[in-house]
Amino acid sequence: MSDIIVNTQLQDEDMLVEQAKTDDDAFCALYDFYFPKIYKYILRRVGHRQTAEDLLSSTFLKAFTKLDTYKNGSASFQAWLYRIATNTVIDHYRRQGKRQEMDIEPMVHLESSDPSPEQYASDSVDRENVEEVLGKLPEKDQEVLQLKFFAQFSNIEIAETLGISVSNAGVRVYRALKKFEEKYKEYVQR
C-alpha cells in the first residue's frame, strides 16, 4: 500500500473521529469498522465469548464517553481504541482477582481450503504446540506478540498502545520472538 493511500486513509479516519465527537452516526461507522477487530482481540485475551462481548461493550462505551479526550496526532484512533480494550481486559482480571490466562488462537493457519486429513491432524498438533509455548511466555511477551501477529499492529502502533517508544516496541517484539523460538525448539525436542 502506498504512503499516499495510507495517509489518505489516516486523514479520512481523523476526519471521521472528529465528526464522531458530535455525530452519533459517525461513531456508529467507527464502531462497525472496529467491532470485529476489537472483539477478536478481547476474545483472544479472555477465551470466553460472553465475557468478551461484555468487555467489548464496555470498551466501546468508554470510547464513546471519552471520545472528546482523543487527540488526533498523539496516537492513531485504532491504537487508542486497542489501549482502551487492553485496559478494560486488565480491569476485568483485577476485579476477578485472577492472573490473566490468555487463550491464544492458533498462529498456524491452514493454507488450503480443503486440507487432507493428514494435513489437518499435523496442523492441529502444530497449533496445540504453539498455544502451549505461547502460554508459557511472560504476559508482557504474550501481549506484544498478540498485538504484532493477531492484531497486526506495526511497531509504531504497539508503541502507542503500550505507551513505550517505537524502538522499545521493536526490541520487545524481537526479544519475545526469540524467547518463543527458543521455547518452541525445546518443546518440540522433548
Calculate what percentage of the chain has a pLDDT beyond 90.
14
Residue 4: how many other CB atoms lie within 10 Å: 8
Q: What was the pLDDT predicted at 190?
A: 79
Q: Is residue 145 scored above 50 in pLDDT?
A: yes
pLDDT at residue 50 above 80?
yes
Asked if residue 58 has pLDDT above 90, the reply is yes
CATH of 1-103, one of 3.90.650.10, 1.10.1740.10, 1.10.10.10, 3.30.565.10: 1.10.1740.10
pTM of the model: 0.54
Where does CATH 1.10.10.10 sit in the chain?
115-190
Tens-digit pLDDT profile for residues 74-123: 667 888 888 899 889 888 887 876 444 444 444 344 344 445 555 544 55
Residue span(s) of the chain under CATH 1.10.1740.10 come to 1-103
Q: What is the pLDDT of residues 156-188, one digit of tens each?
A: 888 877 888 888 988 999 999 999 889 888 888
Say how far apart CA 21 and CA 156 lie, in whole Å. Answer: 25
Average pLDDT over residues 18-37: 86
| Assigned architecture for domain 115-190 | Orthogonal Bundle (1.10)
Q: Left (φ > 0), alpha (ψ -120 to 50) or beta: where does 70 sit?
A: beta
